[in-house]
Amino acid sequence: MAQPLFTLAFERTPARIRLAALGFVGLFAALAVRLVAFGLAPAEPRAASPDLVQRTRPDIVDRNGVLLAKELKAFSVYAEPRRIIDVDEAVEGLVEVFDDLDPRDLRRKFTSGSGFAWIKRSIPPSMADRVWSLGLAGIHLRHEPTRVYPNGAAAAHVLGAVDIDNRGLAGIEKWIDATTAMHEPASARAQADLDAQPVRLSIDLRIQHLYAEHLRRAVETYGAIAAAGLVLDVTNGEVIALVSLPDFDPNEPGLALHPDRINRMQVGRYEMGSIYKALTTALALETGLFTLGSTFDVSRPLAIGGAAIDDFRGKKRILTLPESFIYSSNIAMGRMALTIGAERLRSFLMTLGQFDKVRTELAESSAPIVPSRWSDVTTATVAFGHGIAVTPLQSAMAVAALVNGGDLITPTFLADGGLEARLRARNVIKPATAEAIRDLMRLNVEQGSARRAALDPIRIGGKTGTSEKVVRGTYSKDKVMTFFVGVAPIDAPRYLFLTILDEPRGLPETFGFRTSGWNAVPVTRQVMGEILPLLGIRPETVIAR
């Protein structure tokens, strides 16, 4: 058989080489199919390594399960300047997506020679898709959650806020970071996220909204510069509502940095004025040195060490102890305190938690300003709420102990948080003393400075307080703060309301008066009238009782 004149190189190649060549052809064919599949698939925003992503923050809900804070999916854009091929293309593309970016700033970042630069934080998936579609070398997406507060400013001082890196800055958000491993390794994070339960607060969003709206109207009506409100369950210390105005929207946490937007209930420190007369009266009865039948001559100012203590619109006659309470006599309280003695007064206030910081789930809290030296004048003035500055939440905790039968309970912002760990002291006063204080608070609403709080047939008890503000080291005659503590129902106390107005003005309808009985008291009555039914305290339930 004749031999062919020539043969193909492939035919002359050994069999094993031909087999390897076929293998390479198959591999490249598979890669081509895979690349086509990637090209046809919908664009998926690229994210950083899972190890760089912190675990999901739990939802925050109110006591009824209403959503207060939630984490949503978002992305952030970053650049690797050294990997950018066409700076002009990158700048033009990104400015087209984000019209608030400065082209000159972008160009500076992209030509800096650095290895990393943030472009835009916390953008929604729709914008992330647009960035991905640009197909820019050196421009990447990182999956980063964003925190959303659907109710805006409602309960802002309780919720707090998070920073751009989703870390708690204040309030319950900061508490979550402190009590939960929010930044643990990815290996443990997946199961932790599955197990995460919403943080259920003691706050009732309905009550929060109502109180805030009443306070906003009060600020406008009385020309006050600020206001605050609190609803506290005296049986377990749960805070049902906490309002502090001006407030802020936690969706824009930078607004919280303004000094006017502090949490006035737990950070502000004020001389609580005649609210402290409830504490002094309780101690006077508790010691046995005074009874409800004791009398005091208030016809002349109380002279102590060159100082003279007088009453505001005093009766200028002999008053019984109940009259001293409902007419809010500074002279009578000073006389009681001097008889009791400085040490016993200090010890009692210390027992009621007035000398140390109230520690709740909210890290934002202030220590009281306590006199360093206790002269007779100090003893007398502290008895009616001057010379000592505490947080309003601190004073509310003490009054709650007086009316609930003697249990001093640290307030909490968590629902069903357990009472035993927060029970600071039992029987701080005798049951008979607690009953007497409740009767005096009821009498004050019937006949005294809190008459405008009457909400019959629901029996309300309360105590007013007005204090002159300290301006540049001296008491101002023009600026006051007014307080009112209302308790309902006073025969079986359940809820304490505390209203504060900062620098209210006298009005023609208040005959020019700006004391608590003319502003904080009627505001609280309106608040209680709307809120108590929502809390299950209705006229028919009180009558049935």
Task: Tell me the catalytic residues.
Answer: 274
Count of beta carbons in the 10 Å neighbourhood of residue 343: 10
Are 434 and 255 spatial neighbours (Cβ–Cβ below 8 Å)?
Answer: no
Radius of gyration of the chain (CA): 34
Q: Residues 465, 471, 475, 479: is their CA dihedral positive or negative? A: negative
**What gap in Å lies between CA 545 and CA 541, rounded to an integer?**
6
> What residues contact residue 467 under an 8 Å CB cut-off, 6+ apart?
270, 271, 272, 273, 385, 386, 480, 481, 483
CB 413 within 8 A of CB 203: yes
C-alpha distances out from residue 55 to 60, 70, 123, 181, 190, Å: 15, 13, 19, 8, 8
Which residues are CB-contacts of 17 (< 8 A; sequence separation ≥ 6)?
none
How far is 509 from 512, CA to CA, in rounded Å? 7
CA distance 536 to 487: 14
SS3 annotation, 142-206:
EECCEEECCCCCCCHHHHCEECCCCCEEEHHHHHHHHHCCCCCCHHHHHHHHHHCCCEEECCCHH
Q: Provide the b/e sequence for 308-321 (b: ≥16 CB within 10 Å).
A: ebebeebeeeebeb
CA distance 106 to 120: 11
Q: What is the residue whose two structure tokens read 């290895």?
A: 115
